[in-house]
Structure formats: C-alpha cells, structure tokens
Structure 1
C-alpha cells in the first residue's frame, strides 16, 4: 500500500502513518443506500436480478453507493429514480450493516444503510438494464438468498419491524 498524498510506500497496512509526509491513512467504509420496497399489502418486497459483477445473476435490493456529501436517504431516492425510473416514498431506516464489496480487485468495506420504501400508486417501472436484468416480488417472510449478506440481515430486521 502507498500513501494517497505523496505516493510513498506505507510502513504497515492501514491504519498507518506515512513515514515520508506524516499523513494518516485509514480504510473507511463507503456508505451505500438500499431499499426494501414493499408491495401495497406490505407482505412482499421488490428484488432485482443483478446484471453486472460483482455477483451478477443474484437477487439484490435496489440501491447503490452514496455520492460525496450525499445523505444515504437522498441516495436511496436517487438510486430508485436511476434504477427503476420512479420516485419512491422513503420510509423508516431498517438499519446500518457493515459488509464488503469487491471492486477493481479489492475488497472494500461498505456501510449499507437500508430503508423501507413504497411506490406511488400506479407507478410504472422502467428498469435500467445495465443494473438489473429482471424484477420480481418475493414474500418478505421467505426471501431468497440475496447477493450480499447485509441484505439478508436487513430483510430479517425488516420482518421484525413490520410485525411490531
């Protein structure tokens, strides 16, 4: 690993202090926003079939990485617009989950912020085919294995929230 400020080799893997310039180097989790979009009955949730790596061909929740200085709630609304072509109604935060994401031959730490959400009445969904090849609804009581284990944990927590 090298210092991102001066390019010198680091004495140890982060967290570390660059011996050349004194810069403190950390590996921080990248924030994401995910959505558990519920059906009108509240008993099913929307899942997308991933069209790209990592984990192409597996089911996932709509969502993605937050842009710089973007709040996860705002990112969730933006991601729904980009991936589904709709403006969702954002609901309660289900939880935050520490996970990993494989990108450019690295395993990155991520902090997945997962929210409940609903679609407006009569919403017409237009999938971004670069992101997802298919959309379906699964019973929240019996979800399939999801692409990322943080999504599996969030769905379990969402079931508990919805039963209270």
Structure 2
C-alpha cells in the first residue's frame, strides 16, 4: 500500500461550514453536519502510451513541473467521458504529433510521485507509429524524439521507469 494521504479538506464544498470528522466503515472521514455530506477520498486517472517504431520508442521531454527536463512517454489525465485507451491515442497526437491506432493495454500503476494528484491510477498502452500529425500542445514539452529501447535517456516518473524496464526486459 502506498503511503500517501488524500487532500485535507477543511470546509464543506456545498455550504462552506467547517467539516467535522467521524468514523465510518472503520475509517476517519470528513463530514458536514449541516448537509449530512461525507467526503469519500477517491483517485483520478491518467493514461500513457508507448509508441513503437521498430526497435525505437517515442519519448517527450517535459517543459514544466513536475519533472521538468525529464523524459517520459506521452501521457495525460483522462477527460470525463473518455476511455483510457482514447486518452492514450489523444495524448500521442497532442503531445507527440504521432498518429496511432488499436492501442493494446500494457499495465496499470498507481502514481506515487505526482504532487498534482497523488495516488491516481495510470493506464499504459502500446501502439505502433502510423504517421505524423500536428502537435497541438506545444506548451507541455520542450523536446521529443525516437530512442533505441536499450538506450533510453533518464525518465522522470517512477511509473514510466517501470514501463521502460518492462520494455527493455522484453515483457511488453
């Protein structure tokens, strides 16, 4: 189990009253007595994609924190109404300018090193490169490129490092 905590809300998002705590289902929960509302911490989700072109994979180098200046697979948070596989395909186009199709599921990890959303789940997919498209998110990354699977640059996220290791060991 990861040693991370959910956001520490102080006020009710509905009425603004200060939250109390109570034990529910054996756990300490934030609770609004005025609205009879209980905060149940939950996680968000993201999706990443490993784009293959022969013996190479495509990586992007982050421009902003977290992990500014580090390499990663194209990835991003899942939009409401979007399947994780759709997010992976969208991020390949938006961040990397790469068209892919028929992504195949690799693994799911729980993210322990993203201060924006601690503990969120990240779905990883793989797909083959089809063609180049226009990059629409030019603010997120400072560089991008193809790298030999056995000669990858330093990767920032622990989850991306795990996926890279799986690829290098032939498990993907």
Which of the five TM-score ranges fits, normalised by the shorter chain? 0.7 to 0.9
> Counterparts of 1:77-156 in structure 2 under 5 Å?
77-100=89-112, 101-103=114-116, 107-120=117-130, 123-124=131-132, 126-127=134-135, 128-156=137-165
Q: Please say if residues 60 and 74 of structure 2, whose CA atoms lie closer than 8 Å, have aligned partners that are also in contact.
A: yes
Structure with max Cα Rg: 2
Three-state SS of the structure 2 residue aligned to 1:102 is coil
| Unaligned runs of at least 5 residues, structure 2 | 1-8, 23-27
d(CA) in 1 for partners of 2:95, 2:85: 15
Equivalent-residue separation in structure 2 for 1:66 and 1:5 (angstroms): 25
Distance 2:144 2:163 in 1: 19
TM-score (norm 2): 0.77
Q: Residues 5-52 of structure 1, C-alpha deviation per residue, up to 9 Å, x if partnerless?
A: 33222224974332332212122221101011112x2x3211111012
**Distance in structure 2 (CA, Å) of the matches to 1:145 and 1:28:** 31
Structure 1, unaligned stretches of length 5 or more? none
Aligned Cα root-mean-square deviation (Å): 2.3
Determine the C-alpha separation between the residues in 2 that align with 1:124 and 1:12. Answer: 53
Matched, 1:30 2:35: no
